[in-house]
Structure 1
Amino acid sequence: MKKLVALAMLAASASPLWATTQSVTLSVPDMNCATCPITVKKALTKVSGVSKIDVNLDRREAKVTFDDTKANVEVLTRATRNAGYPATVLGDAK
């Protein structure tokens, strides 16, 4: 019985076994030329856990899908900011 309780406590404190995929749309207002989306996408591609990126220059947005055990919105916006394109979240992460 003690082993079962110890195992349950260990399981409760361990990191999740399954990642949850999150999607977020970032507003990137400083994109203003054809090379800007390429730079933003390249910066986001370097973030561990990012699986899909769709950057739209006309809307000045980047839709990003990522593994929430490896990345989060703060890391994503830091990546775009470090590339010279500060971003904010449009709506909530899903």
Structure 2
Amino acid sequence: MKKATLAFALILAGVSTAGLATTRTVTLDVPGMTCPTCPITIKKALQKIDGVGGITANVDKKTVTVTYDDAKTQPTTLTHATADAGYPSTVQH
């Protein structure tokens, strides 16, 4: 009985840590995004990041909204990726 209880506790521990990852959404201000082709470059840079799920660009507002897994990436990684692609960005608050 003790072995079964221990095994069950270990299984629950594994499940609970996996459940800590959360899908989050962040909007980045990208002031250098000025033409209809800019989002293509930005999206390609962001798609290379593990954990990025969805990317929506709005050229008129000069923003990019990114859905990501916070266990795999963070907003600073996203802003570094856009900057490396030639489009510095900041997290919109």
Given the two structures, how large is their TM-score scaled by the length of structure 2? Answer: 0.80
Q: Matches of residues 37-48 of structure 1 in structure 2 within 5 Å?
A: 37-48=39-50
- From 27, 30, 34, give the equivalent of 2:29: 27
Q: Which has the higher helix share?
A: 2
Q: CA deviation at 1:90?
A: 0.6
Distance 2:52 2:92 in 1: 18
Deviations 1:26-47 (A, max 9, x none): 0000011121111111111111
Distance 2:37 2:85 in 1: 12
- Higher-Rg structure is 2
Q: Which runs of 5+ in 1 are unaligned?
A: none
- Could you say what the CA RMSD is over the residues aligned between the two structures, in angstroms? 2.2
Aligned to 1:66: 68
Distance 1:16 1:62 in 2: 30
Q: CA deviation at 1:16?
A: 2.8
Q: Which runs of 5+ in 2 are unaligned?
A: none
Given the two structures, how large is their TM-score scaled by the length of structure 1? Answer: 0.80
Q: CA deviation at 1:85?
A: 0.3
Letter in 2 for 1:38: I
Letter in 1 for 2:34: N
Aligned residues: 85
Letter in 2 for 1:16: T
Secondary structure of the 2:43 match is helix
Aligned to 1:83: 85
